[in-house]
Each structure stands twice: as C-alpha cells, then as structure tokens.
Amino acid sequence: DTEVTQTPKHLVMGMTNKKSLKCEQHMGHRAMYWYKQKAKKPPELMFVYSYEKLSINESVPSRFSPECPNSSLLNLHLHALQPEDSALYLCASSQEMDSYNSPLHFGNGTRLTVT
Amino acid sequence: EDQVTQSPEALRLQEGESSSLNCSYTVSGLRGLFWYRQDPGKGPEFLFTLYSAGEEKEKERLKATLTKKESFLHITAPKPEDSATYLCAVRISTAGGTSYGKLTFGQGTILTVHP
C-alpha cells in the first residue's frame, strides 16, 4: 500500500461542476506535488508546494486551483473543466523539494472523467 | 533541450528470460536518475535512485546501473508479476545551481512476462 493517500479514487463531473481532489501523507515530507497523467503517457508536473507554499506552477490553467492547508494535506480544486482534462491525477510527496536525496513517492491517483 | 528516452517501448519476455531496459538522457546537471514501476490504474512505485556514474542498486530480480549517458534496468529471471510499465525519470539542476522537484520522465517501457 502506498503511503500517499488520494481521494476519491474515481470522479465523474460535468463541465459546470466544482469538485476537489484530496491528498494526504504522514511521512513528514515537506514537499508535495500534483501530476497529471494521460493514458499511455508519462506523468506531467502541474504544481509543487514546499513548506506549504506554492513554489512551482507549470503554467496550469486557472480552472485548476491547488491548496496546501498544512504540511500533510494537499487539495486540487476543479472548476469549469473541459473533457480534455480527463486523466489520472497523481499526488506525490518528497522529504524536501530541493534535496539531492529525495525521491518522490506517489499516491494511486484519482481517475477523473469530465463529461 | 533536456531529454529522456526509454527503449524499447514494449518488451515481451518468457518467464525466466532475462533482459534489460534502457534509459538514455541528455541533460545538463543531473541530480539523480529514478526508476519507477507503474501498474495499470495505479501510481508510480519508487524503485531506485542513482546519482553517479558507476553506481548500481539491486532489489530482488531488478538491478539498476548508471553511466554518464544512460541507465539500464536489468531483470533477471523475470516472473509474470514483474509485468508493468517501467518509468525512468531525471532530476536536473536549475540555472541557479539548485534543483527542484521536477522530474522529467521518459515515455516508459511496457514489460509483459508470459508464464
């Protein structure tokens, strides 16, 4: 079992809906990430939080809004999504953002379908 | 431009037939090469981190090696449960001399082991 927990596992939403994805880790990691993965493609970075502050935004559309309420939790708020946003959304964490010896540990993702 | 290329795209083996997966990279300022295993519908599972040329890591039937231009993931006497997509990723230095959590992933190798 992964130590990064994501909920829900599956989500179907309409283009006018507002929903949130949640991620939790209890490994004491100070960096948390959102990745997006389309079928048969590698994960693509969306956001990086370090010590609860947004450090990296990879030019993600504003219909995706990240939030880090504390060092263990990470949310991704979704609003007015498009069908092409359907994908597997992965959360990851690492000890530090800039540490040499700090692999990312991934959750099992939320499978999002936008209708 | 930093690039990570994995080969082959797909590999089919008979149980017990050893082989190797390749990850070649052209990046400046490598600060870690990572191997992950991903099962369908799951998040990537961390396997190994390699930092410097000549380094080797082993775990069960898997052995990862690193040179200045590429990494190999050797699979010895594979079993059907080793079937998965294997992803290689690199972390690079930024212009300021630090790195951040962005991993650049290769496209992956889909490994199928037949009994």
CB atoms within 10 A of CB A23: 26
The pLDDT tens digits for A77-87 are: 999 999 999 99
Q: What is the pLDDT of residues B19-51, one digit of tens each?
A: 999 999 987 778 889 999 999 999 999 999 998
In this structure, the number of other CB atoms found within 10 A of the CB of residue B23 comes to 27
Which residue shows structure tokens 């690492």? Answer: A94
State how far the Cα of B89 lies from the Cα of B109, in Å rounded to an integer: 12
Distance from chain centroid for Cα A71: 14
Q: Mark yes or no for CB contact A41/B107 under 8 Å.
A: yes
Residue written as token pair 């995706």: A64
- Cα gap A36→A88, rounded to integer Å: 6
Tell me, what's the pLDDT at B27? Answer: 79
Cβ-based contacts under 8 A for chains A and B: 71
Nearest CA-CA distance, residue A88 and chain B, Å? 8
Q: Which residue in A97, A109, A102 sits closest to A11, CA to CA?
A: A109
